[in-house]
Structure 1
């Protein structure tokens, strides 16, 4: 094939005729070692008011594997009008450690290959090879081994197969990285390993694959999985760990089946304050080869923790700690115990990749929270107890003093929000303690009497002391179960609750711990597309979301000594959730009641604002107008530049999508400025101070020009219908061919028939472009 013919080929043809054969000739098995057009992210969720869309997915033209799950190279292809290295920048972006983390980036245009070597085992970092000299799998694998320091002894462990369920489920790219790095570290002799993965990113599934490979390779024969919540153990046993089958057992008492190989246990089940509680001593210190500690931030690393004694007893085993919230304090240090994380996958990365849900924050401030409240001299609470004379502020409310009107107002605002969205959206309300959770349950019931009549489980209290409420937890997290809808809680639901469809997280709890804050936010970050859960809302009544501004929120291990490990009742860390805080005012401590209850102090909302998750992973705290202006001006310094780009765009939707990816929230902006404004007019008005025109005004201007007369009767009728569609729904509604399938356009015939009115598809598209030009003629 001569060069002219080759240059006429598409990128796909170049792949088929030149690149793929060259890879195969290098010794690569096309069925097991070569994957083409590999999409490895879901595309970030972009929130448009109450609707969502997906941003672009990351996709590699080729990923080359030594074995399934062990990626060695990325190959990016270009057609032959490009140079051989034109795909290198894209390939490098995917090979970096924050992406696929593979050692070789390769670019090709069908004439040869440009190879970038991260291992340092080739003579040059970048060099070209002809088509017939593509390196073999063995060559690249040996270089990978040298790069990673994988010895001959470690290789069988590192190359052990993953578990495949036969249903197509496979680890996501970041899970593969976490698994591979952990396996490599252990195979090379590391005996303390830390993995940091954001809530909702599949830590338990990742742990299963790590254990499976180590177990199947024979590197680890008896393994203990430790957690601090019974629900975590039960979910793990019946879900992710199910393939272990009869080799797995749960330690419940001293009669544990020691013939098993995979053991699951609560910390609380195998240790305690008395010697009789220390069930773990029924096993010899060298019984386990591997211990995996789930949520290891919750006390296992603390030197004097009762849980730490388990790890110290089995000190000869390899210990793998997994957490979403690494903990660093003067007294507790995960990284001191485990070492630095071998891999970290953060909340921000998860949201950027589209695997986790973004959020918006509704911040509501009450007058008494901001100003404080002081009783009058000798004032009695509702139980006739004199209230200690001092100023009570937000840190006291619902702990030392209860303002009943405040509880009612929170319930009213939550109800108002749910009724403006969907009153059946799953909601978790985090309260200060059990008493607060019970009062909030009652207040929400009274705010929703009709919904509570439909089912008395519309609002339930799920706390550690209440068996009836805990029995509803499985129904709450079941996407197919409508009830319960609202769960009030304190600590029980901060971790281990896989509530994928939770759309509203309410914070009426002061949270001073970054660790706890991350765990609570994690209750909403899971995505469930089948049930329409792609983003969630946080309603904050106690300034907890100020922690979002902390640079450590999505950063490295964080200082935090206020969050204590769970105790009884499944890990409730608040003593109130152990059932000893009934809220009975007769219960006194040091001669004072546990709480004062004030029923006649009015409370008012003094501030309410909405904050949105921005493209940089931070909350947009400035006004939407200011934020939009800054973002647009960074792209188009002048109105003329913006107008030129808008006018020349084949589809205005492309320009709108570009701004949305930058965090411009058109629907929210329209709610603030005017819902009948086109995206074009919103930007012209907010950014460039132009007087806005409504869609109806623009449509009427076009009608006055009578420009439709150049079309035939049928084509003219279609354009008039499209113009009306624009006036009602906006520019994006008329750019898609799908508009021809819906009312009122479908009355003109099928899309094919309608296009014939114009003389063909190209003529129809030209007419649409002409219509858009007329709509924006006065602006340009």
Structure 2
């Protein structure tokens, strides 16, 4: 007997329909015919761990699982169930996977959402898909030695011949993103820099080396499509000599549709929509830019339904040229339809564009290496601030946003008639801001981890599956849905699969949650857990080294309990079993992403502060006897607005409880309180003329009607239902980019402590270390600093009890004395210690990178030499610049240095003596002292 709910049964019916649309034969287990067609889906298929909702068969052999859930279920943790069934045995059933290996194709689905992963991928990671894949596609994938994502790992090094630096950076950036399976990437390249040529080069590499089947190249209008086609036709394949189109078919999308033999399809978004929707389109339409189309009046969001002739897996990759706002406004669902990587090309990315592409800006004009901080710090608070978290944001009028039903998770698109401004407190309530979460997690990965755990050497994270052991981390989320979104962001930002980060909430079931907590304690693979309150108190997870608050807490006692999750002591051997590169747990880091460390903690409940009466209060007043026409008019208007937002199923629920549709109920209130109606009824009832009517006359006449109108509101079930729907019905999704803002990093107390440690170190060693003694006591002409002496200083400050990282001291000064700090070093040169010492000892009033000091002093020295009658020719100036750079990098110049790069390439010491003669030694000694003054 089936034991799932009616709601789940309705979901199964719609899942059956979707499977049939994709070409699957859906059967009951007792009516099984595995050869009824290429693809067969068997309901409630038995396994040795229980019945799988659907087991998928290709050519008679099992290849996948669908775990079906009722509408509104959060699918984030359901992947574990499909994963369990994928490794379960079924008697006599042949499998496409070897014994003990999971079935490759795993889905989790409601009637609204579908998630999918291929277990053969290098890092299997669930992703949302618009529909189920066709059996023919899965059959084709099964016969390939590697998946597309696996083949992406084998792309050879790029040959830079014939490419500009920005093009090389772009291709490397895109390929790195693809190898990490990031679904979207954005490339910024200035107009005229060769975006299309870059794209064609990228397409060729993916076609040849990753065996990409089909690629879509989206253009803004028809003529750009023709230009793009010409670019493909003229492209000469590297090290081959043939043209691209002699090897691969390139076509512009037309009435014939997308052919299986077409490697590259070029199309406008308008033409693609026409093909998907089956709606005819005149040729002129695609000659207009989508900029113009969107700005035209009465434009509606383009919605699409599944089209088996163009399945979701039609393309492996979609390149969007000129990816401006219309792509994610009017045409977003067209893009979201395909299960494909998205690569955006643009010259001018906006915040919204960057947000749509997940803030994955893979390349700009120049490629800059990220600076990874190496600091050795103790326990403290690490604050992460983003613009949206602190200030909220405004979504401009005219923007098309996704609006999500909280209960069912169904999404619809809506174009805003006016600016939508929201406060930070509304995030994850009435507004969802995916990039706020992503920015916080990115800040944790890129800034917090390297700064707080410098000894873990975060530079090597490119190939290590477990990010060189991210410290065990617990994240506190606001609710189960929030936890799902955090979980997806963590997996994406860290480029990891489902096992790396999991949710631990009551929604996954108590038994499953307990098992997950146990796994979190002991598994080296499981690094980050997300909870709402299940691990907030009492749970002992000793290896935990980071606690991230992404929710605020008002209770001081509860806050202390939550912080306590990170305080457990663990011996070094036990810690290293789960975090192999850890030395010892001497502290944990509390990462505050919401200001939890800054808000007042109290046990009392907040008082009502809004001057206006809430809808729920209005209904209660009516139930108590309030019959004032203003009350009923306001209530009618609010309920009419609510009805517009409800789904058909929600309207049915209201009708069952109220005895009539909500729209009718609201309409009766509005009509009865119409001013003309009220006056007309009062004239009839009182016999007075209109001018003689008083407000009391109108109200008294209205009250008998009001008694009849408000009868449904005497039912508390209706009031509670309407309040539930009003509060929870929908959330606006703000996809625009977020950014870290000033204040991210250690708090001021930590900065002050760092500076105190640094100054104490100088005080303790000023008479011992030669490097410091020279700077303290001698005039600049005698301040000869050797690199060896600076290294001695650097080694000393890293030792106990100081544990000082110079760059962290620099950032602490920047936080506390920003007006005096002129920039942060581009890289951690030992010579910047000189600048720190001079600033700490108050020899100078500004802290600036050592290289800046040397450059400024060098210009002053040249001016002085010129004023005293000493002139240098061009060749001498070139050598003086090299000497200056040597001092900036190493704090000194010696005669021996002339035998090394870059001097030896131009003649070394012999050449230097030819240029400067007997003055060479004097010049070097003078520059060694003057430039570091």
TM-score by length of 1: 0.33
**Structure 1 or 2: larger strand share?**
1
Select the structure with the greater relative contact order (CA < 8 A; seq sep ≥ 6). 1
**Structure 1 or 2: larger helix share?**
2
TM-score by length of 2: 0.28
**Which of structures 1 and 2 has the bigger CA Rg?**
2
